[in-house]
Amino acid sequence: MDYEGIGTEARERITAAQDLPAVEALRIALLGKAGSISALLKTLGGMSPEARASEGPRIHALREGVTAALTARKDALEGAALEQRLAAERIDLTLPAPLTPRGTVHPVSQVMDELAEIFADLGFAVASGPEIEDDWHNFTALNMPESHPARAMHDTFYLEGETDDHRALLLRTHTSPVQIRSMLADGAPLRIIAPGRVYRSDSDATHTPMFHQIEGLVIDKGIHLGHLKWTLETFLKAFFERDDIVLRLRPSYFPFTEPSVEIDTGYSWQDGRRVVGGSGDAPGHSWMELLGSGMINARVLAAGGLDPDQWQGFAFGVGVDRLAMLKYGMSDLRAFFDGDARWAAHYGFAALDVPTLSAGVGARP
The reply to whether 317 sits near ligand DAH by the rule CB under 6 A is yes
The reply to whether 315 sits near ligand DAH by the rule CB under 6 A is yes
Which residues, at least 6 apart from 125, have a Cβ–Cβ distance to it below 8 Å?
Answer: 191, 192, 193
Residue among 195 and 294 whose Cβ is closer to ligand DAH: 294
Q: Which of 104, 176, 182, 231 binds ligand DAH (CB under 6 A)?
A: 176
Contact 308, 287 (CB under 8 A): no
Q: Which of 119, 254, 267, 349 binds ligand DAH (CB under 6 A)?
A: 254
The reply to whether 235 sits near ligand DAH by the rule CB under 6 A is no
Name the residue type at position 33: K
Contact 220, 188 (CB under 8 A): yes
Peptide bond into 259 cis (omega under 30): yes
Contact 147, 109 (CB under 8 A): no
Cα 170–chain centre separation: 22
Q: Return the residue nearest ligand DAH (CB atom).
A: 317
The reply to whether 316 sits near ligand DAH by the rule CB under 6 A is yes
Binding piece for ligand DAH, criterion CB under 6 A, among 68-76, 106-114, 311-319, 347-355: 311-319
Q: Cα angle vertex 8, ends 3, 11, to 5°? A: 125
Q: Which uninterrupted H or E stretch holds 137?
A: helix 135-138
In angstroms, give the least distance from the CB of 218 to ligand DAH.
11
The reply to whether 294 sits near ligand DAH by the rule CB under 6 A is yes
Q: What is the dihedral of CA 328, 333, 338, 344, to 10 degrees?
A: 0
Name the residue type at position 223: I
The reply to whether 174 sits near ligand DAH by the rule CB under 6 A is yes
Residue among 38 and 208 whose Cβ is closer to ligand DAH: 208
In angstroms, give the least distance from the CB of 256 to ligand DAH.
6
Contact 40, 58 (CB under 8 A): no
The reply to whether 293 sits near ligand DAH by the rule CB under 6 A is yes
Residues 196-215 that bind ligand DAH (CB under 6 A): 215
In angstroms, give the least distance from the CB of 238 to ligand DAH.
19
Report the C-alpha gap between 122 and 91 in whole angstroms: 43
Residue among 74 and 248 whose Cβ is closer to ligand DAH: 248
Q: Which residues bind ligand DAH (CB under 6 A)?
A: 174, 176, 215, 254, 257, 292-294, 315-317
